[in-house]
Amino acid sequence: MTDFADIVSRRRTFAIIAHPDAGKTTLTEKLLLFGGAIQLAGAVKARGDARRARSDWMKVEKERGISVTVSVMTFDYDDCTFNLLDTPGHEDFSEDTYRTLTAVDSAVMVIDAAKGIEEQTRKLFEVCRLRNVPIITFINKMDREARDPFELISEIEETLQLHVTPASWPIGMGPGFLGCYDLMKDQLVLMPKSRSALSGETVTCTGLDDPQIDKLLPSYAATELREQVEMARGLMPEFDMEMYREGHLTPVYFGSAVNSFGVRELLDGLAKLAPPPRPQPAVGRNIDPLEDKVSGFVFKIQANMDPKHRDRIAFFRVASGHFKRGMKLKHVRTDKQVNLHNPLLFLAQDREIAEEAVAGDIIGIPNHGNLRIGDALTEGENIQFTGIPSFAPEMLQRVRPEDPMKAKHLGAALLQLAEEGAARVFKPTMDSGWIVGVVGVLQFDVLADRIRTEYGIPVKFEQTQYITARWIETDDPLVLKKFRDANGSTLAEDHDGDPVFLARNNWHLDTTIEQNPKLRFLKTKEKLA
């Protein structure tokens, strides 16, 4: 194996997916702690001067205690380099998560042990399935009252149509949670006596019959552990690497993120099982990570990560090749050269200059408005990466500044936020104002807060007569022109200049579609470079 191939093989780029409050952000903190990236993990429920969660850096996230944007964190562990993408848990921000899942090679699914599979978990899993993303499951909060492990596993199997192999097995639950048996390594891992301890006591065993188990556990717990593991092994398939990598089987770990328990075992599992960078789908062919020439795509744009500098960062997934600082890459959409003098590596809001990067890495590119979500950068080839979605909004509101003199500034702010994918922004053909479209109502609150704090423009959102939007496509430009001439009052353009139809109600939408068979009314616009 060449040095380059060896370096690439050690990359693990993964996302964490979960329903809100399953403990995703706390787990992220603890993974960073074990990876040595931070010295003190911040609990999400911290108050006052206590540490805030490292991955939730935006003001609104700190105030609400939820993740509403993607953050990227890079750290090393067990001879591997991990690129961890923490995604919004709240369903109102699911579009950001969907796009992020195009940039990862695997995912960790966090499940609350008391609640099991919840709606947002199921939705995110379906996105992973579309891309055959391998999933490792972490059943969290075992130190609280929890459902029976067999019941939880059965729910995963039935709800997600996924084979399950336990990688560890819990010993008790709630106040009686004593630890886990690591089935991959034949180790007994005991709950730490102190919450400040990074990890519990680990005892290597020769199997479940090892007399050490009887010495370290109460007799009832040792008996129950042996019975349950024997039953689990009889009912569930052995771990199969190929089935896992194809997205058909998930290994399951049990633990308690807030107590740092089970996190080390999960990290070990990711290092050993999770795939290195996978080929990326593109028009005409898949892009192999070991190709000599650098290529990659922008999957996210984040404005104002540093409020002092009014910056915009494009998050770029390296798909192939060995990137070095100072390289010139071709911006495929515009056919222009981009000089990458100051690419960035991330630890949430902290950053440093990236001297180099390889396939699988996520780097930040300072962006002055020329890069958009879905854009490809290459060493010359006209590659168009596929599968980066943009969804039609289901909620539309008109937005105006409280100070009419700031209307022009508001337009510029909205276009920046649209470029980062925070919302759809539409400019009606026959109106001077702006219409903002979102997937969930909470996004309006977050947008108003961001426009006020980041751009200094207090705004009001107002009801509009429209309920949804659809992108319009056709193979015949004359058909489109005729439609535009006849429907000017219900047409707009998005921030890319693409035509959009605004529907007043479902009947209006259905009738318009029926009357215009040569037009395609799209709920999803794929972002091609």
* Cα radius of gyration (the chain): 25
Give the tokens for residue 77: 């562990």
> How many CB atoms within 10 Å of residue 46?
14
Angle between helices 149-160 and 119-130 (to 10 degrees): 50
What is the rounded distance in angstroms from the CA atom of residue 262 to the CA atom of residue 265? Answer: 5
Give the tokens for residue 200: 């519990």
What is the rounded distance in angstroms from the CA atom of residue 126 to the CA atom of residue 131? Answer: 9
CATH fold match for the domains 3-273 and 288-378: yes
3-class DSSP assignment, residue 362: strand
Tell me the fold of 288-378.
Rossmann fold (3.40.50)
376-411 burial, b if ≥16 CB within 10 A, otherwise e? bbbbeeebbbbbbbbbbbebbbbbebeeeebeeebb
> Who contacts 83 (Cβ-Cβ below 8 Å, separation ≥6)?
11, 12, 13, 14, 72, 73, 74, 360, 361, 362
Give the tokens for residue 456: 């200094």
Closest among 66, 1, 29, 13 to 449, alpha carbons compared: 66
Give the tokens for residue 501: 């139809």
Bridge partners, residue 351, by sequence: 346
Per-residue pLDDT of the chain (529 residues; tens, 9 = 90+): 568 999 999 999 999 988 888 888 889 888 888 877 554 434 333 333 333 444 443 454 444 444 434 478 888 898 999 999 876 644 544 567 777 888 999 999 999 999 999 888 888 888 788 788 999 999 999 999 999 999 999 999 999 999 999 999 999 999 999 999 999 888 899 987 665 556 667 888 888 999 999 999 999 999 999 999 999 999 999 999 999 999 999 999 999 999 889 999 999 999 999 999 999 999 989 999 999 999 999 988 776 555 555 567 888 999 999 999 999 999 999 999 999 998 988 765 567 888 999 999 999 998 777 888 889 999 999 999 987 766 677 789 999 999 989 988 998 888 888 877 767 899 999 887 899 988 777 778 888 888 998 889 999 999 999 988 999 999 999 999 999 999 989 999 988 889 999 999 999 999 999 999 999 998 877 655 4
Q: What is the CATH number of domain 389-526?
A: 3.30.70.3280
Angle between helices 407-419 and 442-455 (to 10 degrees): 120
342-363 burial, b if ≥16 CB within 10 A, otherwise e? ebbbbbbeebeebeebbbbbbb
Within the chain, how many helices (H) and strands (E) appear?
Answer: 14, 33
Q: What is the CATH number of domain 3-273?
A: 3.40.50.300
Question: What angle is formed at CA 136 by the lines to CA 134 and CA 141, rounded to 5 degrees?
Answer: 155
DSSP state letter for 92: G
DSSP state letter for 100: H
> How many CB atoms within 10 Å of residue 318?
30
- What pLDDT is stored for residue 527 in this prediction? 59
- What pLDDT is stored for residue 86 in this prediction? 75
Give the amino acid at 55.
S
Closest among 282, 251, 498 to 385, alpha carbons compared: 282
Q: 127 vs 145, 147, 375, 488, CA distance in Å?
A: 30, 26, 21, 36
Give the tokens for residue 49: 């001067």
What is the rounded distance in angstroms from the CA atom of residue 46 to the CA atom of residue 491? Answer: 47
What are the structural domain ranges in the chain? 3-273, 288-378, 389-526
